[in-house]
Structures are given as structure tokens and as C-alpha cells.
Amino acid sequence: MNGPSEGELFRKVMGAEWGKLHPDIRRRFEKNPAPGQPLYYQGELSQLRSSRLGKLLGFITRPFIDGALIPYDDTDFPVDIEVYSKPGCPHIFKQRTYRLHGRQPIRFTSYMAESERGEVLEYVGMGLGMKLRLHVDGGNLYFTSDGYFWDIFGWRMPLPGLLTPGKTFLCHRNDDREQFNIRIEIRHALFGKTFLQVGRFHEIAAPAHEKEKS
């Protein structure tokens, strides 16, 4: 039995907007990674940037949500993505491994969930997360954060916007059936752009070390 897919959640939340997405993007999100059978993507970030405030926040939060806010600048380095589900769990998990030049790999895992109000939530660790709004433009998928929160014992406590890294903007743009590109910007209301990631990815078969496990 297949696990959940982000596509099921996005289609439910987006309604008629879902049909405006490029068919390649719809197919990509409709794939269901069954437990023990992850999906793998490989790519390269052409740009990784953080402002002075971004670097400060990245270092401060590293012990709690390592990898969510990367406090470094780099270009043209590889990134691996593993998309997986867990038995009996309704969420889709994404583990990203950033292989910056001259540094140890940075791993960051997040997951999407649906709130009781039918909202899309992304959790980044330690109960911290953000509510996301989705829309389509030119067949491409856009995510915009609509507030950060801290989930404590099932209660979502909103965090003041000025005390967060800023508003997140993500674009999933289709290149072709096999390849897509991602652009992520975080902009603070007072201090401007704090983080930037730009990269291109494609799906691959399971890496050799993963095949050896099975």
C-alpha cells in the first residue's frame, strides 16, 4: 500500500488551481513514496546567500534546527534530496543534504502536514513551522509563508513576524518532464532579503549505497 503524497494535500487545498499546474509538476507531486521506498533527487545550487542578519540567525538556531537556515555563502555545489514516508504516518518527509565546498555536509529534514482547518503547514524541527499559501502562475507552483508558529503540545503559538527570518517565497518551476528548478527567498520586513537559494534538480534511481541496503 502506498503512503501519502504531497499532491493529495495540495490538490485538496488548491481546488481548481491544481488543474492549472503544468502536468509535469502535477505528476511529480502525485508520486507516493511508500515506506522504505524513497524518491531521490539530485541537483546543484547555483546560489546560496545569507545576509548578516541571516548568518546570525543561522548560527543561533543551528543547535535546534540545523540546516533550516544556512549561514554561509556558496555557489555551484551538489545537493541530494530524499523524499520518504513512514509507516502509519500521514506526512511526507524531505531530507536535503547540502554539500558545500570545504565543509561537512549539512542535512535538514522537514515535513508537510494539513491543519485541522485545511491549511498546509511545513514543520522544520523542534515544533517550529510555517503556514503556507499556494498559487499557480504560468503553470508553475508558488509557496508563500503566511506566519510562523511554535507547536507546543498540539497548540500552535504564532510567532511575531519581526522576530522571524522573514517571509518565505518559494517557486517550483518546471524545465521539462525530468528537471525542475527551485528558488527560495526569505525577506525580513525591516532588514530585507535574509536568505536565498537557487538550484536545479532531477529525479534519479536509488543511490548505490541505498541499493545495497535492500
Q: What is the pLDDT of residues 28-42, one digit of tens each?
A: 999 989 899 999 999
Report residue 140 as a C-alpha cell.
508553475
CA gap 28, 192 in Å, rounded: 32
Give the model confidence (pLDDT) of 75-129 as tens digits: 999 999 999 999 989 898 999 999 999 999 999 999 999 998 989 999 999 999 9
| Arch. (CATH architecture) of 6-206 | Beta Barrel (2.40)
Query: Does residue 214 surpass a pLDDT of 70?
Result: no
The whole-number average pLDDT for the span 151-173 is 94
pLDDT for position 197: 98
Q: What letter represents residue 2's amino acid?
A: N
> Residue 27 — φ and ψ, nearest 5°?
-60, -40
Helix (H, G, I), strand (E, B) or coil at 94: strand
Model confidence, pTM: 0.92
- Using a 10 angstrom Cβ sphere, with 0-12 exposed, 13-18 middle and 19 or more buried, the burial of residue 119 is middle
pLDDT on residue 210: 62
pLDDT tier at 149, thresholds 50, 70, 90 = very high
Query: What number of CA atoms fall less than 13 Å from residue 135's CA on the CB side?
Result: 6
Whether the per-residue pLDDT at 212 is higher than 50: the answer is no
Residue 9 CB neighbours (<10 A): 21
Give how far Cα 212 sits from Cα of 85, 87, 208, 209, Å.
20, 21, 6, 5
- Rounded distance between C-alpha atoms, residue 209 and residue 22, angstroms: 33
Q: What is the DSSP letter of 64?
A: H
